Amino acid sequence: MGKPQREETMKSPNHAWLFDVDGVITHPEKKQVVRKGIFTEIIKRLKLGEPVALVTGRALSWVMERVVNPLSSEIDDKTVLDRLFVSGEFGASRIQWKNGKPFHGIDSSISLPKKLAEEARKAAEAYKDTQHIDPDKETMVSIEMNDGLTVDEFRRNQLPLAKRLNEILASQNAERKFEVHVDRIATNVRHKAINKHYAAQQVIRWLSKIGLSPKQFFAFGDSAGDREMADELHREGKAVTFVFVGHKEELGSKGKGYKTVITEEQCDDGTVEFLKSKES
């Protein structure tokens, strides 16, 4: 009698967890996992059979080096990673595991045209004192904050660059398909199809593929744009709570139809605060 009940529990775990990475898992300025206990809390949930997704605009190589590999080093049984999904470049690239082995996928149909990518990189060179081009992106161009800067120092040059990138899009009649997206630590030139909505769709498809139907979803973010994950999950009929760990004044209006929790602590501290308060 006990076995079918356990199988049902594994197929319908209590929770699923979606995390933005910068400012949620990693420190927004140090760009590393520095908060003690964050891996412990994530591994605890993976071992319970609860799916965990990292949803970011970062290149997969960056996420693997700074988050997944250190996380994996603390796990003896690598099949636990079968419940982990990494969505990079806003869903355009992804990694999932089967029997503890990673598999990489990419949607090359939404990559930037070569000429547009070249012009965007050329424009970014004028701002190299405060930002740099991510060389590992496969489908988009990202210009990221240099190490050692504060977010406020970065933003002073981020907005003029974003204006110039929009001018480039206009000059190439590319505004219908592509856009300039600004977040806390990067400026991205990307296809309009890829965003946190699209990435959340990828997570939903992955869960369906591996046969999991979580009862409750939690989506974590530190910027208003991260709410797209919760919006998409709600649109798909999922029970979801958005956990906001950023500056309260930057959240704007709360999403409709689902709960929003604003943590007392901010960024990675806020993530650990909520995880420790929530028993799985």
pLDDT band of 21, cuts 50, 70, 90: very high
Share of the chain above pLDDT 70, in %: 96
Q: What is the DSSP letter of 150?
A: -
217-234: average pLDDT: 96
Q: What are the pLDDT digits (tens) for 125-135?
A: 999 999 999 99
Binned at pLDDT 50, 70 and 90, residue 4 comes out as very low
123 has pLDDT over 70: yes
The CA distance from 47 to 51, in Å, is: 9
Contact by Cβ (8 Å): 56, 20: yes
Q: Averaged over 14-42, what is the pLDDT? A: 93
Sheet holding 178-182, edge to edge: 131-133, 141-145, 186-191, 178-182
The pLDDT value given to residue 9: 53
Q: Tell me the residue length of the chain.
A: 280
CA distance 269 to 105: 31
What span, in angstroms and rounded, lies between the C-alpha atoms of 56 and 90? 6
Taking the C-alpha atoms of residue 209 and residue 228, their distance in angstroms, rounded to an integer, is 22
> Is 208 in a helix, a strand, or coil?
helix
- In the predicted structure, residue 3 carries a pLDDT above the cut 60: no
Are the C-beta atoms of residues 18 and 200 closer than 8 Å to each other?
yes
Q: Can you tell me whether residue 176 is helix, strand or coil?
A: coil
Q: Would you state the pLDDT for residue 28?
A: 83
pLDDT band, residue 122 (cuts 50/70/90): very high
Over 70: is that where the pLDDT of 280 sits?
no
Count of other CB atoms within 10 angstroms of residue 268: 25
Which strand (E) or helix (H) includes residue 18?
A: strand 15-19
Task: Please name the amino acid found at residue 168.
Answer: I
pTM for this model (two decimals)? 0.85
Is the pLDDT reported for residue 6 higher than 50? no
**Residue 39 in tokens:** 């891996």
Calpha distance 244→258 (Å, rounded): 13
Contact present, 58 and 31 (Cβ < 8 Å) = no
Superfamily of domain 2-107+194-277: HAD superfamily/HAD-like (3.40.50.1000)
Tell me the one-letter amino acid at 32. Q
Q: What is the pLDDT of residues 34-56, one digit of tens each?
A: 988 999 999 999 999 999 999 99
pLDDT value at residue 121: 96
Average pLDDT over residues 181-209: 94
C-alpha separations of 229 from 84, 148, 167 in Å: 17, 29, 29
Question: What's the mean per-residue pLDDT of the chain?
Answer: 92
In this prediction, residue 5 carries a pLDDT of 45
Domain map of the chain by residue range?
Answer: 2-107+194-277, 109-191
Specify the residue for token string 């028993």: 279
Q: How far apart are CA 181 and CA 263, in angstroms?
A: 26
